[in-house]
Amino acid sequence: MLTPARRLSRAERGGAERGGAERGAATVATTRATDSHRGVSFSFDNKSQLRATVMAYAYLALAAAACYLLYRYVTRNFSYWEQRNVNGPRPVPLFGSLQASALRKRNIAVVFRDIYNQFPNDKVVGMYRMTTPCLLVRDLDIAKAILIKDFDYFSDRGVSFSERGLGNNLFHADTDIWRVLRNRFTPIFTSTKLKNMVYLMEQGGDRFVEYLQGLCAERQEQELHPLIQRYTVATISACAFGLDFDTIADKMHVLQKLDDIIFSPSFIDEVDMMFPGVLKKFNMDIFPKEISDFFDSLVTKVVTQRNGKPTSRRDFMDLILELRQQREIQGPKRSSEEQQRTLELTDDIIAAQAFVFYAGGYETSASTMSFMLYELARNPDVQERVIQEVDEVMMKYDGKLTFEALNELKYMEQVFDETLRLYPIVDPLQRRAQQDYQILGTDVTVKKGQMVFVSAGGIHRDAQYYPDPDRFDPDRFSPENASKRHPCAYMPFGVGPRNCIGMRFAKIQSRTCLAKIFSSFRVSGTREVMQDVRFVPRRFILGSAPLKINIIPRKL
């Protein structure tokens, strides 16, 4: 197609083709024509330019309107707390109060702790998880009411996702399924059952010390967290699945990969914050299929190896196989009218619990022990008291770490408690309201479906409960000092019916490992250890950025 400019040059050419005498006039005529054409062409160009400009403005206006609508949409709830006279941090469009954690700049526990600190005079703080209003509870009596006394209003954790695959696990499940699971799995974690597993942990501890001896003969400076993970992965694998320690050494790289997937949050969590319940509604998984495949095949293998029946190992798998023989498990019967909920104990349900015991069982303990060794390296006087206690107990029990021996490591228990005060690994605690609920001593109502948070980290470092809160001082947990405290002033394992089911296991596992380590080694700080710890932002739970300590053989 010819453009106007192109047509114009044809007219010019027509003029130019006329001969001799006409040429001068023709030239003038052509020039005029050209000028007049140029005039036409100008006005034609102006029109199309005008159209283009109008279109550009229209697009701009549309984009601005879309941005405005989007802005209105992602900030639509941001006056929610102001209208109810509840103080809180100024929300950021789209991210609400969680910009730093959503952009993976800070760990979520640290973000909640900072918000806790910003409002020292408020009992509750109004926040937004992305675009959705939620409440942070600062007051201990309110926390107690929500987590313990009025638990029935808050029995969901609000993290449920698809009920397929690993979804029906104890940590993520909503109340109806959770009640049945908790009812049947609690007896697996009693002291008597755990006592039977101490021998597995002790074996793991011995292997670990041998491994450390080999390592330290080459180099004393060691990276802390992966080292301890080796022990916790080995013990949980032995206690949960009956895997033996040599098999695990070969599988460390696979388990490391699983670790990255399980504990690195994907942005699907933020989507669920913006549209609460969307994951469950659309049956979406939060873990990739390779994780469920791994646990499915592990459970199938162990069940087959044991012919579907408990053995003499007395590990978690044996206890679950005992339950499996009943085929169905029941929830608690809470009143004569209430129908007792039952759940078929399928291999999927077993795999989901195996997964949560595994995931809960190694990483939380590994992080706790890493922080503990870090603090002991920085506080040599505390370390001396720990070593002295370990030596005394070991001597009393002829070098055998029995359940009774572990129970006598009282000072070590204080060190463990003080470590989790400073570094609560699973933080914040969270619950979802089952019904509208008026917050104790306030005129604030939490609406059905809204989330409520408690920042253990904020409370644990609050000077009104712990004077000089950043100082590491295990004497805060002497029996006299601990008994004076409010039940919600210390919550590293949560509190109430939905607290950590694995608390006793974690305590035994950590004590065994540390008693073994300090029987043979001391720890001392590297330059990094003398600095304050930095937390990994891209992790669900609280973990330190890589840290090295020196592990020095003791001269016995």
Annotated binding residues for heme: 500
| Per-residue exposure over 26-65, b if at least 16 CB sit within 10 Å of its own CB, e if not | beeebeebbeebeeebeeeeeeeeeeeeeeeeeeeeeeee
168: contact with ligand HEM by CB under 6 A:
no
3-state secondary structure of 18: coil
Task: Look at strands 221-223 and 328-330 and give their pairing.
Answer: unpaired
H-helix segments, 145-281: 175-185, 191-195, 198-218, 224-241, 245-263, 268-274, 278-281
CB of 98 closer than 8 Å to CB of 428:
no
**DSSP per residue, 439-476:** PTTSS-EEPTT-EEEE-HHHHHT-TTTSSSTTS--GGG
- CA distance linking residue 455 with residue 426, whole number of Å: 10
373: contact with ligand HEM by CB under 6 A:
no
Query: Which is nearer to ligand HEM, 41 or 407 (by Cβ)?
Result: 407
Q: Which helix H or strand E contains 23, and what residues bound it?
A: helix 20-74
343: contact with ligand HEM by CB under 6 A:
no
472: contact with ligand HEM by CB under 6 A:
no
26: contact with ligand HEM by CB under 6 A:
no
Stretch that binds ligand HEM, among 3-11, 69-77, 356-364, 388-396 (CB under 6 A): 356-364
Stretch that binds ligand HEM, among 53-61, 295-303, 340-348, 487-495 (CB under 6 A): 487-495
490: contact with ligand HEM by CB under 6 A:
no
- CA distance linking residue 283 with residue 272, whole number of Å: 12
Task: Look at strands 451-454 and 132-137 and give their pairing.
Answer: parallel
# residues near ligand HEM by CB under 6 A = 25
- Applying CB under 6 A, among 188, 227, 412, 426 the residue interacting with ligand HEM is 426
CB of 93 to ligand HEM, least distance (A): 30
170: contact with ligand HEM by CB under 6 A:
yes
Residue 96: strand pairing partners: 92, 129
- Applying CB under 6 A, among 361, 457, 474, 525 the residue interacting with ligand HEM is 361
502: contact with ligand HEM by CB under 6 A:
yes
365: contact with ligand HEM by CB under 6 A:
yes
197: contact with ligand HEM by CB under 6 A:
no
- Applying CB under 6 A, among 472, 490, 505, 521 the residue interacting with ligand HEM is 505
Q: Give the relative orientation of helices 347-378 and 224-241 as an angle to the nearest 10 degrees.
A: 150
Q: Is 431 left (phi over 0), alpha (psi -120 to 50) or beta?
A: beta
Stretch that binds ligand HEM, among 122-130, 266-274, 420-428, 477-485 (CB under 6 A): 420-428
CB of 268 to ligand HEM, least distance (A): 20
- Applying CB under 6 A, among 97, 107, 292, 364 the residue interacting with ligand HEM is 364
3-state secondary structure of 32: helix
- Applying CB under 6 A, among 276, 331, 360, 458 the residue interacting with ligand HEM is 360
403: contact with ligand HEM by CB under 6 A:
no
356: contact with ligand HEM by CB under 6 A:
yes
For the record, the structure tokens of 305 come out as 């190896």
Stretch that binds ligand HEM, among 136-144, 288-296, 358-366, 469-477 (CB under 6 A): 358-366
Quickly count: other Cβ atoms within 10 Å of residue 284's Cβ.
15
- Applying CB under 6 A, among 112, 161, 357, 521 the residue interacting with ligand HEM is 357
Query: Which spans of this chain sit near ligand HEM (rule: CB under 6 A)?
Result: 170-171, 182, 356-357, 360-361, 364-365, 368, 420, 425-426, 429, 492-495, 498-502, 505-506
